[in-house]
Amino acid sequence: MSAPKNNKLVPLRKAAIEPGLIHAQVETLHRSAALENQKNAKELLSYLVNWSLTNDTPPTVQEITEGLGRKYDRGSPLVRNTANRLRNMLEDHYASAGPDEIWLVLPPRSYMVYTPRPRRVKAASPNNLHCLFGRVDACITEPAEMEDVSIVIAVRGRIDALDADLRVWLVVYINKKYFLQCRVSRRTPAWEHEIRCEIIPWVPGEGRVFNIMLVAADSDGDYAMYGHWRTFGTRVVMERLPSDIWVLDTRKITRNNLRRGYSIPTPPVSTTEQWS
């Protein structure tokens, strides 16, 4: 069984998957029957996954050989033969793999590891989210509506009912732009995260109104949002949200006495809780 059909392969470095989850999948493969007693294949898999997570171009045979702690021999077929066996072992494993496993693909004549891009789910309006995913009960509880706040805000809320496959984000909307803040933890129904409201130049007036948005994203929408944040780093500004996004709740707040200048919100902290 090959990788899921109609799913374009993307390099691990550009995939919207937490590296810790990828390393966990590698450990699953190491323990699988397909790779049992295959020391060379396990070492090669670990090396290529680590390389693919941090590089945009494939390693050379010499880099692989020396990275595995062996002396490079230009004419040795060891790396090529081990890679061919590893491809067959991956095929064997994923032929009966569970639906929650992350696919790791080593294409022919390549030493870069890829994974399939998530399938697109047909978009829907916020009003019929429950028709696709069942009961929805998620909200922002603090700050209060139109509360005057400081730069750093503690946003609290609850997610009592929401499909487990959906990811939840906090987004600030102002001046026709979206500013990604963080993924919302789903470890417990109650959650709390800090966001920043200092993201547009000062303009005359009593104050500015910011919209805090609690949004749900399917796999494709989450892929686009995380990919945007990862690409632009701290400059997490989006002209529009992906189509695979549904607004769960919004909360308007105000900030007065904004100073002239352009400031960017702090990016999400890469912790285990953020990806729960």
Same domain? For 227 and 265 the reply is yes
State whether 94 and 144 are in the same domain. Answer: no
**Do 24 and 53 reside in the same domain of the chain?**
yes
Q: Where are the alpha helices (DSSP H) in the chain?
A: 19-31, 39-54, 61-67, 78-94, 129-133, 219-232
Give the model's pLDDT for residue 113: 94
The count of domains in the chain is 2
Please, are residues 136 and 126 in contact by the beta-carbon 8 Å criterion?
A: no
User: Residue 127 is encoded by which pair of tokens?
Assistant: 């009003």
Instruction: From 101, 106, 105, 103, select the one nearest 83 (Cα to Cα).
Output: 106
Helices 19-31, 39-54: inter-axial angle, 10-degree rounding? 170
Q: Which of 116, 134, 161 is the last residue of a domain?
A: 116
In a domain, 4, yes or no: no
pLDDT at 276 over 90: no
Q: Which helix (H) or strand (E) holds 200?
A: none
Say if CB 49 and CB 72 are below 8 A apart.
no
Q: How far apart are CA 274 and CA 276, in angstroms?
A: 6
pLDDT at 261: 41
Residues 172 and 83 in one domain: no
Distance CA 227, CA 139 (A): 25
Q: Is residue 3 part of a domain?
A: no
Q: Is the pLDDT of residue 272 over 50?
A: no
**Domain membership flag for residue 181:** yes
Return the SS3 of 272.
coil
Residue 266 to residue 273: CA distance in whole angstroms: 17
Residues 102 and 226 in one domain: no
Flag whether 85 is in a domain.
yes
Residue located via tokens 């323990």:
31
Same domain, 36 and 146: no
Consecutive H or E run containing 161: strand 152-161
Q: How confident is the model at residue 8 (pLDDT cuts 50, 70, 90)?
A: confident
Which residue range forms the structural domain that includes residue 249? 126-275
Same domain, 43 and 167: no
pLDDT, one tens digit per residue, over 112-135 is: 999 886 544 344 444 556 555 667
Beta bridge partners of 210: 253
pLDDT at res. 131: 55
What per-residue confidence (pLDDT) applies to 122? Answer: 41
Same-domain status, 134 and 183? yes
Q: Which of 124, 229, 199 is closest to 166 using CA atoms?
A: 124
| CATH classification of the domain holding 238 | 2.60.40.10
Helix (H) / strand (E) containing 180: strand 177-183
For the stretch 33-74, pLDDT in tens is 999 899 999 999 999 999 999 999 999 999 999 888 887 777
Q: Is residue 17 part of a domain?
A: yes
Q: Are residues 225 and 137 in the same domain?
A: yes
Instruction: Encode pLDDT of 196-246 as tens digits.
Output: 776 544 444 346 788 899 999 888 888 888 887 777 654 557 777 887 788
Asked whether residue 90 falls in the same domain as residue 189, the answer is no
Q: Give the global pTM.
A: 0.48
pLDDT digits (tens, 9 = 90+) for 177-198: 888 888 999 999 999 998 877 6
The answer to whether 247 and 213 have CB atoms below 8 angstroms apart is yes
Residue 1 included in any domain: no
Contact 103, 115 (CB under 8 A): yes
pLDDT at 86: 94
pLDDT band at 256 (very low <50, low <70, confident <90, very high): low
- Can you tell me which residue has the tokens 């730069």? 151
Q: Do residues 183 and 224 touch, judged by C-beta distance below 8 A?
A: no
Question: For 272, how many CA atoms within 13 A lie in the half-sphere containing its CB?
Answer: 3
